[in-house]
Chain A
């Protein structure tokens, strides 16, 4: 951290990691998002980590009910929400108790002093008030009576009772932190007006609390300085702050435009995938049809039906839903119809950790169906890239007439970053052509439509949709004769069809970029990752380089099929380390496919890797 003084008198920092924590009902996610949004508009680079309990409202004031939001704000390019926060805002004793150990030694704690009374202390398990015992002496502590000051400024607002005024205390906290880090006020004030405009007295209360928090920082002498994180020198372009689920939804809508097909989403609500259903339901003007089905099976089955009808069919879910959809995905593989299956992975098995991140569905995506049922698997590596991954999934599905699994996770889904908007004209053309005429002539010169007649290059079958005169045909899950599509129990035909389904997916390797490798190509050690670990691996690799070592990083976006050169890439390095948010699933695939002695680094704690965790492991390997 630099420590210079800017023109405004604020001390300049190169980056800051802030963690907002409070009760589930305290609005901490919203507070964090607003701080993030204002920072994004200010021009910082940033990365976020929302962490909330699975319970909608755990008992108030308890450890189980603590909801937190961490954001790293920086004047340079960053890839993670940071390891240890520099600042903790604790809205109640439970938040302090649960989160304090994460704070860096010497860090700043700002507490809502009003909540540190007997009942709340007891609920958090404190026998004595930690603000008075000296146990926080390793930190810089600020005690701010947020609740009472919020009530005070809202006293005069008509129609706002003290209990209601209390709800605005998160805006007081946001105002204070906004002053402390010199965030612009306008984006937050505009947002309050837009969000609560229908109830003017709530707008007034939130505005008053926000401004009061800001003024408190400015006028009291409690805070010696404010701080400033200058805008980051990002590539020129137009940016927006986007999380993975939103970017993914936009990618699906865009894929509909690019393919000139109607997007049909069959979905059943499940954390952390539901926001995609919500977002797509907002974009009906694009012709998007969203169908909230009665269960996960109906969700995917309806998508298969829509695909048969010629739609760009999508189903979205998380791990437990993929388990239920397995049979219908197998049907789509057999029918050879395009289908995008999106799995926002979470901690498992079973209900597991619904709101926590994990990347442990890779082997299910690869092999979690009965029979020989290969399907392409792709994985975005950052929130913004989810947009492109959705288009890529649609491209492969349509071109090869196959279901495609897109593996995102809770961390990408809810985490946000500034994302440079792509040039719309540079997006791929993924239009597809339906068959409208007979495609086979028999020995007698009669014309026929053969639904399983294939493109010799892609092996994609002909796709004729209902409504097309003369091309009526029946398809089904029973094995069928290649070409005609008629039911066939012939042993050699089954072998042939199995081979074709396998080859079709394997051949996609010719249609994807070579392995993405960054860093020192002459290093001895290669880090191989997939999915959301990109941020932590990139950050750790950078620190390794800063420590004077060489290191390379390959990150896989296409996992089935692998890029064609992957085996050769792996063979160039003495040591291959694969950090994963699971117990070693990609490592298993790499070992099986390439006979490489991959060292697997695993974490299944519901939280992404920290940079230091990976740094330590890599350093040990290097020295």
Chain B
């Protein structure tokens, strides 16, 4: 391939590699890839300064299809690999790609620690509630009772809610989108990418082979108005075909769906994604117990906190200015020495 992205403006073609995607026909991953390749030309990004790091799973093939730098690493470790890269090279745009098994099961530890450290990386979590690459075992986001090859009598595990996990892990940016709405994905990716620090985007993604229709009850075109609750910063949270529903905070501090006509608009939660206290965002993340109830999408939380690599590199700069750039001889003579003649 020849990389010809020298002009300041890029197009979708500049971000598309010569490798043919090899996901199953109809997989939600295709629309996520397209959204990314359409979104990046609008950003102040360059292919040579962009790196996609993935773990293992269907989603993890993503970097091969992007005409950027990329690494398809090992299962679960993408956030850790990306951490090292982002610390060593803070000027790069680092994206992390993985599925629900990759990020929340085998790699759960790395995901939470990357988020709490606030290392500059944009993490896309493709959640299809199933293990696809290994052909259909239940995942840490599968619902209780899920019948799969490894759970013929139904799963007995309580699933993770990815947004709740991220909020609990001190993430500074947490959002959710879905693979049926390219525009929404593009907008969410853009917001996440513009955030300095760790940004987590959960993408509801359909696996049409092993878990087809897992999100259909909320993401099908005719269901979205009544089942997806769009979070808009500074606005009262309303949804429904005629915006007839809203979300309030009840006396226990839990989010609750109400009819606006019953309570009046003034009683609704005004979404504040910049709230330092994550309680309200967490309450919203608990609103739906699964993708069969009205579910919030959009940006749950965006707050500013010092970014890790900037803080770490600042210490290096301070050390350099206080001690001067080191020389090997200074190191060797940093403890008492004596001379033998």
**Which positions in A face B, CB cutoff 8 Å?**
37, 40-41, 43, 187, 231, 234-242, 246, 250, 253-254, 257-258, 262, 264, 266, 283-289, 291, 293-295, 297-298, 301-311, 313, 327-328, 331, 335, 420-422, 424, 427, 438, 446-449, 465-478, 486-487
Segment touching A, from B28-36, B71-79, B137-145, B187-195: B71-79
Beta-carbon contact of A239 and B6 below 8 Å? no
Q: Which of chain A's residues have a CB closer than 8 A to the CB of B80?
A: 293-294, 297-298, 301-302, 305
Chain A residues in 8 Å Cβ range of B77: 297-298, 301, 328
Interface residues of B in 298-341 (CB under 8 A from A): 312-313, 315-316, 318-320, 322-329, 331-333, 335-341
Chain B residues closer than 8 Å to A448, beta-carbon distance: 1-2
Contact B338 A305 (CB under 8 A): no
Residues of A within 8 A of B233 (CB): none
Known: A236-B341, A308-B81, A310-B89. 16 other contacts (CB 8 A): A40-B336, A239-B340, A240-B338, A284-B319, A305-B53, A308-B51, A308-B69, A309-B84, A313-B88, A331-B73, A331-B74, A438-B2, A472-B69, A474-B17, A474-B70, A476-B71
Contact indicator B73/A304 (Cβ below 8 Å): yes
A sample of 18 inter-chain contacts (CB < 8 A) reads A239-B337, A254-B328, A266-B84, A285-B320, A289-B87, A294-B109, A301-B73, A302-B81, A302-B84, A302-B87, A304-B73, A424-B328, A467-B89, A468-B48, A472-B5, A472-B47, A474-B70, A477-B56
Residues of A within 8 A of B329 (CB): 424
Q: Nearest CB to that of A289 among chain B residues?
A: B87
Q: How far is the CB of A587 from chain B (nearest CB, A)?
A: 34
Binds A, one of B60-68, B176-184, B213-221, B248-256: B60-68
Is the CB–CB distance between B328 and A472 below 8 Å?
no
- When A298-B77, A298-B113 are in contact, do A283 and B89 touch as well, CB less than 8 Å? no
> Across the interface, do B88 and A301 meet the contact criterion of CB distance under 8 Å?
no
How far is it, in angstroms, between the C-alpha of A287 and the C-alpha of B319 when the chains are bound?
9
Residues of A within 8 A of B91 (CB): 467
Select from chain A the residue with minimum beta-carbon distance to B93. A466
A487 lies within 8 A of B337 (CB): no
**A313 and B84 in contact, given A254-B331, A421-B332 (Cβ under 8 angstroms):** yes
> In the bound complex, do residue A466 and residue B88 qualify as a contact, i.e. CB atoms below 8 Å apart?
no
- List, in ascending order, chain A residues with CB within 8 A of B318's CB: 284
Contact: B331 with A250, CB < 8 Å?
A: yes
B252: min CB distance to chain A, Å: 34
Residues of chain A with a CB closer than 8 A to B337's CB: 238-240, 421
* Chain B 81-112 interface 0/1 with A at a Cβ cutoff of 8 Å (1 = within): 11111111101100000000000000001100
Chain A: minimal CB distance from B285 (Å):
23
Residues of A within 8 A of B73 (CB): 301, 304, 331, 476-477
Chain B's nearest CB lies how many Å from the CB of A588? 29
B48, A469: Cβ atoms under 8 Å? yes
Q: How large is the interface on B (under 10, 10 to 19, 20 to 34, 35 or more residues)?
A: 35 or more
Considering the chains assembled together, what is the distance between the CA atoms of A449 and B48 in angstroms? Answer: 13
Given A242-B335, A305-B84, A309-B92, A327:B74 Cβ within 8 A: yes
Interface contact tally, CB-CB below 8 A: 233
**Closest beta carbon of chain A to B220's beta carbon, Å:** 34
Q: Does B3 contact A (CB under 8 A)?
A: yes
Chain A neighbourhood of B315, CB < 8 A: 284
Q: What's the dominant secondary structure at chain A's contact region? A: mixed
**Smallest CB–CB gap between B309 and chain A, Å?**
9
With A254-B331, A306-B87, A313-B84 given, is the CB distance from A236 to B336 under 8 Å?
A: no
Write the B228-271 contact mask toward A (1 if CB under 8 angstroms, else 0).
00000000000000000000000000000000000000000000
Q: A41-B338, A285-B322, A476-B72 are in contact. Are A305 and B92 (CB under 8 A)?
A: no
Whole-angstrom CA separation of A329 from B116 in the bound complex: 26
Residues of A within 8 A of B6 (CB): 469-470
Residues in A neighbouring B92, C-beta threshold 8 A: 309, 466-467
- Contacts A302-B80, A466-B92; is A473 near B340 (CB within 8 Å)? no
- Verify B88–A262 contact, CB threshold 8 A: yes
Contacts of A472 in B (CB 8 A): 3, 5, 47-48, 67-70
B89 x A309 contact (CB < 8 A): yes
Chain A proximity of B89: nearest CB distance (Å)? 4
Measured in the bound complex, the distance between the Cα atoms of B340 and A239 in whole Å is 7
B87 CB contact (under 8 Å) in A231, A286, A291: A291
Within the assembled complex, what's the spacing in Å between the Cα atoms of A234 and B4? 63
Is B19 an interface residue when CB atoms closer than 8 A count as contact?
A: yes
The residues of A that contact B74 with a CB separation of less than 8 Å are: 301, 327-328, 331, 477
Complex Cα distance, B109 from A43, in Å, reads: 51
**For the complex, is B151 an interface residue (Cβ under 8 Å from A)?**
no
Chain B residues near A468 (CB, 8 Å)?
Answer: 48
The smallest beta-carbon distance between B12 and chain A, in angstroms, is 15
Chain B residue with Cβ nearest A262: B88
* B150 touches A (CB below 8 Å): no
Task: Say yes or no: A37-B316 contact (C-beta < 8 A), given A305-B82, A308-B71, A477-B73.
Answer: no
Question: B89 to chain A: which residues have CB within 8 Å?
Answer: 309-310, 465-467
Find out whether the CB atom of A40 lies under 8 angstroms from the CB atom of B325. no
CB neighbours (8 Å) of A422 from chain B are 332
- Taking CB as reference atom, which chain B residue is nearest A330? B74
Please tell me if B158 contacts chain A, counting CB pairs below 8 Å: no
Q: Which residue of B5, B72, B338 is within 8 Å of A43 (Cβ)?
A: B338
Check B339 against A303 for contact (C-beta < 8 Å): no
A246→B323 CA distance, assembly (Å):
19
- Chain A residues with CB below 8 A from B48, complex form: 466-472
The reply to whether B333 and A285 form a contact with Cβ atoms under 8 Å apart is no
Residue on B with the closest CB to A287? B316
Q: Are B339 and A237 in contact (CB under 8 A)?
A: yes
- Complex Cα distance, B336 from A37, in Å, reads 8
CB pair A289–B109 under 8 Å, yes or no, is no
Complexed CA–CA distance, A23 and B165 (Å): 46
Interchain nearest-CB distance for A248 vs B (Å): 12
Min CB gap A537→B, angstroms: 25
Complex-state Cα separation, A420 to B341, whole angstroms: 12
**Closest B residue to A475 using CB positions:** B71
B275 within 8 A of A: no
A254 to B326: give the CA distance in the assembly, Å.
10
CA A306 to CA B69, docked complex, whole Å: 14
Contacts of A446 in B (CB 8 A): 2
CB B37 to nearest CB in A, in angstroms, measures: 14
Q: How far is the CB of A582 from chain B (nearest CB, A)?
A: 29
**Known interface pairs A257-B328, A283-B331. Does A264 touch B340 (Cβ–Cβ under 8 Å)?**
no
The complex places the Cα of A370 from the Cα of B192 at a distance, in Å, of 37
Residue B11 at the A interface, CB < 8 A? no
Nearest-neighbour CB distance to chain A for B247, whole angstroms, equals 35
B324: chain A residues at CB < 8 Å are 285
Task: Find the A residue at minimum CB distance from B54.
Answer: A476
CA distance A555 to B289 in the complex (A): 65
Beta-carbon contact of A285 and B335 below 8 Å: no
Contact B81 A474 (CB under 8 A): no
Residue of A nearest to B64 (CB): A474
Complex CA–CA separation, A328 to B56 (angstroms): 13
| Shortest Cβ gap from B335 to chain A (Å) | 5
Measured CB to CB, the closest approach of chain B to A431, in angstroms, equals 15
Instruction: Determine the residue in chain B with the shortest Cβ distance to A484.
Output: B1
B279 CB–A CB distance under 8 Å? no
Residues of B within 8 A of A421 (CB): 332-333, 337
Q: Is the CB of A283 within 8 A of B88?
A: no
Given contacts A43-B340, A234-B340, A285-B322, contact A240 B333 (CB under 8 A): yes
Pick from B71, B113, B322: contact of A335, CB below 8 A.
B71
Identify B84's interface contact among A231, A264, A424, A475, CB under 8 A: A264
Give bound CA distance, A293 to B87, whole Å.
12
Most buried by B among A264, A298, A447, A472: A472
The complex places the Cα of A18 from the Cα of B41 at a distance, in Å, of: 72
Q: Measured between C-beta atoms, what is the minimum distance from A186 to chain B in Å?
A: 11
**Contact assessment for B88 and A471 in the assembled complex, using a CB-CB cutoff below 8 Å:** no
Residues on the B chain within 8 Å of A43, using CB: 338, 340
Residue of chain B at shortest CB distance from A466: B69
